[in-house]
């Protein structure tokens, strides 16, 4: 066991008493060595919510959400009682949003919203979300509806999660376990070819979705949990003049991320978006960590309050 010294706020930093921190798949990849270069010991936790202890930019006691540069690469994260963040990576929170919800909606909400901005989604668009019962996916479905999509097709394998989405923005669902022709199933569910696809999966599901794209349609890939070894359906892409766009919110400029986060918070405040999450205590972190590795179909948030 290693005991780390309490952090001290330096110039341009905010010291935060952490109340809640979300788990994200990238943290498991770092901890397991699947992202070489991390140095131990370090405190994991990419994002969190708490109250300001000391800062030159925020008053003491202010409720804030913060995001750390990837912990393990020279920085500690949010899974501790006191955490540091650069002032520019901290944003104030409205009282109407609870700490657990604000912590859990951060990275996944930012990713989903930035995907629609990258795709230049228009009102009335036909939208499909692959991996819709996952963290990014379940918010992407709701954000598509909030942004005025005419059709929102939720795609996944977890039937209870798909049923939850039927009352949270999805106009139709497609269970990947029950279809052999995803392109046809998507177009039938959407009432025609798709304008925008948000894709945390890649692999074969993405290839089927590309074949369902409308003229000038865009697929935004934000993950690759279904694999990377694929053959792009080039004939379909050329015929439709469609595009595949890549996005990693971790590399997006912080001002863009903060603006996207505030947009998602506004949708939550107005009741357009709901976070599907499970709150666990810090004492249960080992079980929560293992659960995160197994695709929990809800956002896992750790309470430190």
**175 is a domain residue:** yes
Q: Do 27 and 128 fall into the same domain?
A: no
Q: Are strands 90-92 and 63-67 parallel, antiparallel or unpaired?
A: antiparallel
What number of other Cβ atoms are within 10 A of residue 216's Cβ? Answer: 10
CATH of the domain at 145: 3.40.50.720
Q: Domain span at residue 37?
A: 13-105+275-303
What total of structural domains would you count in the chain? 2
**Residue 77: CATH number of its domain:** 3.90.180.10
Same domain, 240 and 119: yes
CB 130 within 8 A of CB 198: yes
Buried b (16+ CB within 10 A) or exposed e, 34-45: eeeebeeebbbb
Structural domain includes residue 261: no
With respect to residue 186, please indicate whether it lies within any of the assigned structural domains. yes
7 in a domain, yes or no? no
Asked if 96 and 115 sit in the same domain, the reply is: no
* One domain for residues 136 and 244: yes
Specify whether 117 is located in the same domain as 182.
yes
Shared-domain flag, residues 150 and 128 = yes
180 in Cβ contact with 98 (< 8 Å)? no
Categorise residue 120: left if φ over 0, alpha if ψ from -120 to 50, beta otherwise.
Answer: left
- SS3 at position 214: strand
- pLDDT computed for residue 227 by the predictor: 87
Task: Tell me: pLDDT of 1 over 80.
Answer: no
- Interhelix angle 106-119/135-146, rounded to 10 degrees, is 50
Q: Looking at the structure, tell me whether residues 114 and 246 fall in a common domain.
A: yes
pLDDT in tens, 246-271: 999 989 999 999 999 999 999 999 99
Instruction: Work out the mean pLDDT of the chain and round it to a whole number.
Output: 95
Closest CA to 19 of 45, 58, 57: 45
With respect to residue 269, please indicate whether it lies within any of the assigned structural domains: no
For residue 83, being part of any structural domain is answered with yes
* 138: confidence class by pLDDT, cuts 50, 70, 90: very high
Q: Where are the alpha helices (DSSP H) in the chain?
A: 25-31, 99-104, 106-119, 135-146, 159-165, 182-190, 203-211, 234-240, 254-269, 285-293
Examine the domain organization and report whether 62 and 131 are in the same domain. Answer: no
Give residue-wise pLDDT tens across range 223-247. Answer: 998 888 889 999 999 999 999 999 9
Q: Are residues 125 and 142 in the same domain?
A: yes
Would you say residue 128 lies in a domain?
yes
**pLDDT more than 90, % of the chain:** 85
Q: What is the pLDDT of residues 28-66, one digit of tens each?
A: 889 888 888 888 899 999 999 999 999 999 999 999 999
Q: Which of 257, 293, 281 is nearest to 67 (CA)?
A: 257
Q: What is the value of pTM for the model shown? A: 0.95
Residues 234 and 121 in one domain: yes
Pairing mode, if any, of strands 82-86 and 126-129? Answer: unpaired
Residues 114, 237 within the same domain: yes
pLDDT in tens, 110-137: 999 999 999 999 999 999 999 999 999 9
The confidence score (pLDDT) of residue 38 equals 86
Vertex 134, ends 93 and 142: CA angle to 5°?
60
Q: Are residues 289 and 228 in the same domain?
A: no
Radius of gyration of the chain, Cα coordinates, nearest whole angstrom: 20
Residue 89 in any domain: the answer is yes
Cα three-residue angle 221-223-226, rounded to 5 degrees: 105
Boundary of a domain, candidates 212, 233, 250: 250
């Amino acid at each position: 066991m290693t005991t780390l010294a309490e952090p001290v706020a330096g110039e341009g930093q905010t010291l935060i008493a952490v109340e809640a921190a979300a788990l994200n798949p990238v943290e498991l990849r770092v901890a397991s060595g699947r992202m070489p270069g991390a140095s131990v010991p370090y405190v994991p936790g990419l994002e969190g919510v708490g109250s300001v202890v000391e800062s030159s930019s925020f008053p003491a006691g202010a409720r804030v959400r913060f995001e750390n540069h990837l912990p393990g690469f020279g920085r500690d994260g949010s899974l501790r009682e006191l955490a540091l963040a650069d002032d520019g990576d901290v944003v104030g929170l409205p009282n109407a949003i609870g700490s657990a919800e604000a912590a859990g909606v951060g990275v996944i909400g930012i990713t989903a919203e930035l995907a629609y901005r990258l795709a230049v989604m228009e009102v009335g668009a036909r939208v499909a979300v692959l991996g819709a019962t996952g963290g990014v996916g379940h918010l992407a479905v709701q954000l598509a509806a909030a942004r005025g999509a005419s059709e929102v097709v939720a795609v996944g394998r977890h039937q209870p999660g798909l049923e939850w989405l039927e009352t949270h923005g999805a106009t139709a669902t497609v269970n990947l376990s029950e279809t052999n022709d995803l392109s046809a199933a998507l177009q039938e569910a959407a009432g025609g070819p798709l304008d925008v696809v948000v894709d945390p999966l890649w692999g074969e599901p993405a290839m089927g979705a590309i074949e369902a794209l409308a003229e000038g349609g865009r697929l935004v890939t934000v993950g690759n949990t279904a694999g990377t070894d694929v053959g792009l359906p080039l004939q379909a892409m050329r015929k439709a003049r469609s595009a595949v766009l890549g996005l990693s919110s971790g590399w997006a400029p912080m001002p863009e991320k903060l603006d996207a986060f505030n947009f998602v918070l506004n949708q939550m405040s107005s009741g357009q978006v709901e976070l599907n999450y499970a709150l666990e205590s810090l004492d249960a972190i080992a079980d929560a960590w293992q659960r995160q590795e197994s695709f929990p179909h809800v956002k896992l948030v750790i309470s430190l309050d």
